[in-house]
């Protein structure tokens, strides 16, 4: 079965004098065997749009590298990050609190398209820039109190394809690998953040620069 997303996709980036459309989406199946839902939509953006958004975000997002607390020690995150969102939607994790930067036009257009496809509303986004194969994300769950009991997170990938892994929190031998290609959208919902950790491991691939946008909804603020 093939779904053609119409919505606002044909109007993406008209403010830049460009039109970026989406590809055709196959109906996704649940990647997780139990205890959660993870749906992979690919391609969500066509190749031309992927290149445009990657360059736009790489050049115009307010990237920074921050120190986080791990096992009682302050360490620099092995990636660059940025937090964008609605006014007042701060986000805290690993000993840091990020205040939202106002949405850019490109992020607003992407957010609208993601909301149209998924049917969920998002008021914030955590962006990660993986500069090389040594940049990574360790095992964790996105279960901070600001995200609510069963958070919905939509993760959009741009740039290089990277391996992404799920691991069951109570049975760590159960690992589900997923290749996140540019233009793909991974939707995590239900009890996924309760029962599943996830990570982006290091890679030896030379062409590995990647941008990841995780659209989220901060509640109770």
Q: pLDDT 10s per residue in the chain (221 long)?
A: 223 332 334 444 433 333 344 556 667 999 999 999 999 999 999 999 999 999 999 999 999 987 766 666 777 777 899 999 999 999 887 778 889 999 999 999 999 999 999 999 999 999 999 999 988 988 999 999 999 999 999 999 999 999 999 999 999 999 999 999 999 999 999 999 999 999 999 998 877 899 999 999 999 76
* pTM, 2 dp: 0.86
Asked if the structure places residue 221 within a domain, the reply is no
The strand pairing partners of 159, in sequence order, are 210
State the pLDDT at residue 24.
60
Domain with 116, as residue range(s), is 2-216
State the pLDDT at residue 8.
35
CATH number, domain of 172, equals 2.60.120.590
Asked if the structure places residue 17 within a domain, the reply is yes
State the pLDDT at residue 74.
75
Residue 204, exposed/middle/buried by CB under 10 A (0-12, 13-18, 19+)? exposed
Asked if the structure places residue 184 within a domain, the reply is yes
Q: Compute CA distances 162 → 57, 84, 119, 159, 178, whole Å.
A: 18, 23, 27, 9, 9
State the pLDDT at residue 10.
41
Structural domain total, the chain: 1
């Amino acid at each position: 079965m093939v779904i053609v997303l119409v919505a606002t996709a044909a109007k993406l980036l008209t403010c830049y004098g460009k039109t970026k459309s989406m590809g055709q989406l196959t109906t996704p199946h649940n990647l997780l065997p139990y205890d959660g839902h993870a749906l992979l939509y690919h391609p969500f953006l066509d190749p031309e749009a992927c290149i445009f958004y990657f360059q736009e975000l790489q050049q115009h997002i307010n990237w920074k590298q921050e120190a986080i607390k791990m096992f009682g020690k302050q360490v620099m995150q092995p990636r660059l990050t940025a937090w964008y969102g609605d006014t007042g939607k701060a986000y805290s994790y690993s000993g840091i609190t990020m205040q939202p930067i106002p949405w850019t036009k490109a992020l607003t257009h992407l957010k609208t398209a993601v909301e149209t496809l998924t049917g969920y509303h998002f008021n914030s986004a955590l962006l990660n820039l993986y500069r090389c194969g040594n940049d990574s994300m360790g095992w964790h769950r996105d279960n901070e109190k600001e995200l609510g009991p069963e958070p919905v997170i939509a993760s959009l990938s741009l740039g290089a394809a990277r391996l992404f892994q799920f691991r069951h929190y109570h049975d760590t031998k159960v690992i589900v690998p997923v290749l996140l290609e540019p233009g793909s959208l991974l939707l995590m919902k239900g009890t996924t953040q309760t029962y599943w950790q996830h990570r982006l491991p290091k890679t030896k691939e030379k062409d590995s620069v990647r941008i990841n946008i995780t659209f989220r909804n901060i509640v109770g603020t």
